[in-house]
Each structure stands twice: as C-alpha cells, then as structure tokens.
Amino acid sequence: MATSAQEWWERAQRVIPGGVNSPVRSFKNVGGAPFLVRSGRGAYVTTEDGRTLVDYVMSWGPLLLGHAHPAVVEAASKAAADGLSFGAPTVAEVELAEMLCGALPGFDVVRMVNSGTEATMSALRVARAATGRSKVVKFTGCYHGHHDSLLIRAGSGAATFGVPDSAGVPERLAELTMTVPYNDLGAVRQVFREWGPEIAAVIVEPVAGNMGTVLPVPGFLEGLRQVTAEAGALLVLDEVMTGFRVAWGGAQVRYGIRPDLTCLAKVIGGGLPVAAYGGRRELMELVAPLGPVYQAGTLSGNPVGMAAGLAQLRTVGGPAFYGPLEDAAQALGRGLEEAARRHGVALSTVVAGGMLSVFFAEAAPVNFDEVARTDDRAFRRFFHALLDEGIFWPPSPYETAFVSSAHDPAVVEKTLAAAERAFTVVAAG
C-alpha cells in the first residue's frame, strides 16, 4: 500500500529535526501539522494528500514567474544534461554576473555563492577587512541569514550591544553587533556618536521583509547612506529578498540609494541555491584570489543554478515587468483591507513590488515592536481559515507573502472570495 501523506510526515519527524529543513515550514507559529508538497505549477501547489492550493509562499521569494515556469525549467534541464557541476569557470557565470552588474548601481564586481546567509557573512568579512574595524550595526526585526555575527537581537533596556538570538552563538561575538530599531535614524546616529570609529558597517534590509513587510520611512535609507559615509563605515544593503523583487535590480533602484556592498539570493537563482555579494571594485578586489579576504565555494556559480537564474531574469526582461506585478499585489492588498472592514476586522496591508503583508492592526507598522503588537491570534485564525479555503498564506505573522506574475486577476479574485469567508471566521473571534 502507498505511504500516506500523514505517514510521510511522521517519518520526516523521526529523521529530520522537527520534520523540516528550515524552521518556519513546521507551522510552529500558527499551530497544526504542515502538508508535504508534491508539485507546483504557476500560482498553485499540489500537496501529497492531493489538494491544490493557491500559493503565496512561492518558495519564500525566488519564484517571480510562478512554479515550474517553462523557460526556467527548460534552461535548467538543458544545463543539467551538459553536466551538473565542474568546479571550473563557465560562460553562464559571466553572463549572470554581467546581468547583475548591469542592473544594480551598487555592483561593479560580484561573487556568486550558494545562499543568502553566505552572502551576508562574506559581505561583512569584506567590510571588516576594508575598514579594519570589527563592530556592525543591524536593525531589530531584520534577518540576514543564520551565521553567528548576525543571529543577534537587541539586548535589554537601553543597551545597544546585541545578545545571541540563538543558543550556540558566543556572547563575545554578539557584543560586536549593535542592534537598533528599524526606521530610527536617531538611534543610528547615537550609536555612531558612541562607537563610530569601531563600526565597520551598517547592514539593512532596504525594505524589511522578515518581520512582515515594513517600508523604510522617507529619509531613512538616505540617512544611513550619509551617516555611514561620514563615519568611514560601509553601507551593506541586504537585498536577498528585495533584489529583482521590488524593482528590476532591487530596492537600491527603487529608492535611488548607492550602497558599498549588496547581497542577493532568492530571485537570482530562479528556485535553485544561488546567491551573490558584490559592490565597489576596490572593495571586491580584497577578495581571494586578488586579495587577503578568503571566501570560496565548491558549488558556487553552479551551471544549473546559473542557467535557471539567467532564464528567469531574461524572461522578466527589465523594469516594465514590475508595474503589473505591483498592481496585482496592490489589488489583493486593497481587496483584503475592504473585506476585513466589512467584517469589522482591523487590517492593514503593505505592498512593495511582489511583496505583500497583512497586519492585524489599524496602521502599518514601522518597526519590530509595532509588528509584535499586532494581533497574532487573529493572524492564526486567518491563516487556517484561508488554508481551509485552498489558499496557502505564509504560516507566520512575521513573514511576507509573495505575488508572482502567475498570480493573474483570476487568482486574485479567487483569493479575495476565500478571504471574504476567512474574515467571517476571524471576526467570530
């Protein structure tokens, strides 16, 4: 007899921590058991128990064209047939690097890696090497991957020194990372007044996406650019989520900010493990083999990943793609707010390109504390009610939903019809 989806989930939990290879997949934030996915096409996934769901997780961001887009699948398949990995240079790496350098003002030179975590870890190493300084500044609620220097949260009270946000991160390392509230330029200036000569870099999500979507307030990014330049520190934009997601290139194009270093992943791999970090030529020439900063990768620039990323970006084609994408996200956001209002539920939505968040609150949050004060009980009810209606929303109030070009008006309509019923459940409390 065939193994049932339930049996697979039980087997998963016996051999994989929590049954998942990345924690948010476990539904820990919303309760209940996750489903296993069998396949995906366009805006839909099909589960192992045979349900077809509209998907707003979209692999957490990479799938700008939807699941299994023919151009991406064909390019990856063709590359795979020619050999899965060489550990020697290929044409596809040059083509993707040229495309990225053409699209991002912040890229003169770019190095491919395999995950967003690796990209931010490496960018910080370059920043520390370039400045000869060791402290970094990050923002509460921004996520930059799971390496030790950035798995840090704010300490208690007024202290700006971070404390480990995970067991196993040494406190002495955490002390090198200072944490301030998102959108709070005054707090950044204060940290620089106190520690300026020791600060190597400020790292920021230019549109925050890992506490739900939180937009930068006017002047915030410009202020970071100015403060870092004045202090001889580097500005690192973590565009792992926003790169080619909120604009062609990324948020640096949308907001006109020129960083010293930029990190990319997600969209640039088309669904395969591809990431990159890059920046000004003289900074990136510090990286081996040219310079003293060591960074390497057996599978970096993998030909199948390069082919998938190139095919996705070539299909996207340029800036014109993003108007209709954002229109779809806005239509969904507006529709959700209107439906919530009809049911007397307080809801605000935030959209940037193909990023969309719902917050159960009257107004859109501007920082992590405000996100934390939204109604997560209402979110859990909303999530499960939508899932019952065939819509897979990200299983956490701290995650962003992703709209792809496959989320056409019919998909948006279907989602809004489901949401109308879901808000009845939310309103019932």
Ligand X SMILES: *Cc1c(COP(=O)(O)O)cnc(C)c1O
How many residues in the shown chain lie near ligand X by CB under 6 A?
A: 15
**Contact string 238-267 vs ligand X (x = CB under 6 A):** x-xx-----------------------x--
Residue 254 φ then ψ, to 5° = -60, -40
Two structure tokens written together for 244 = 């080619």
Which of 42, 55, 103, 117: binder of ligand X (CB under 6 A)? 117
302 binds ligand X (CB under 6 A): no
Which of 210, 213, 348, 404 is in the footprint of ligand X by CB under 6 A?
Answer: 210
> Using CB under 6 A, which residues numbered 132 to 161 contact ligand X?
143-145
Tokens of 359: 């917050």
User: Which residue has tokens 């299994």?
Assistant: 68
If the CB atoms of residues 57 and 275 are measured against ligand X, the closer one turns out to be: 275
Q: Which is nearer to ligand X, 238 or 326 (CB)?
A: 238
d(CA 329, CA 335): 10
Which of the residues are catalytic?
A: 143, 238, 266
> Could you give the CA distance from residue 112 to residue 249 in angstroms, rounded to a whole number?
16
Measured in residues, the chain has a length of: 429
The answer to whether 306 and 97 are in contact (CB under 8 A) is no
What Cα–Cα distance (Å) separates residue 66 from each residue in 57, 183, 321, 341, 419?
10, 32, 14, 30, 21
In angstroms, what is the minimal distance from the CB of 114 to ligand X? 8
Q: Does 206 bind ligand X (CB under 6 A)?
A: no
Shorter beta-carbon distance to ligand X: residue 190 or 295: 295
Closest to 252 (Cα-Cα) out of 178, 353, 345: 353
- Closer to ligand X at the Cβ: 120 or 262? 120
- With contacts defined by CB under 6 A, name the span among 39-47, 196-204, 233-241, 403-411 that binds ligand X: 233-241
Q: How far apart are CA 250 and CA 237, in angstroms?
A: 10
Closest approach, Cβ 429 to ligand X, in A, equals 33
- H/E stretch holding 273 reads none
Ranked by CB distance to ligand X, the top (closest) residue is 116
CA 403 to chain centre: 13
Task: Assess contact for 50 and 36: CB atoms under 8 A.
Answer: no
Least distance (Å) from ligand X to the CB of residue 24?
A: 10
Please state the closest distance from residue 395 (CB atom) to ligand X, in A.
Answer: 16
Give yes or no for residue 277 binding ligand X (CB under 6 A): no
Give the nearer residue to ligand X in terms of CB position, either 72 or 237: 237
Q: Which residues bind ligand X (CB under 6 A)?
A: 115-117, 120, 143-145, 205, 209-210, 238, 240-241, 265, 275
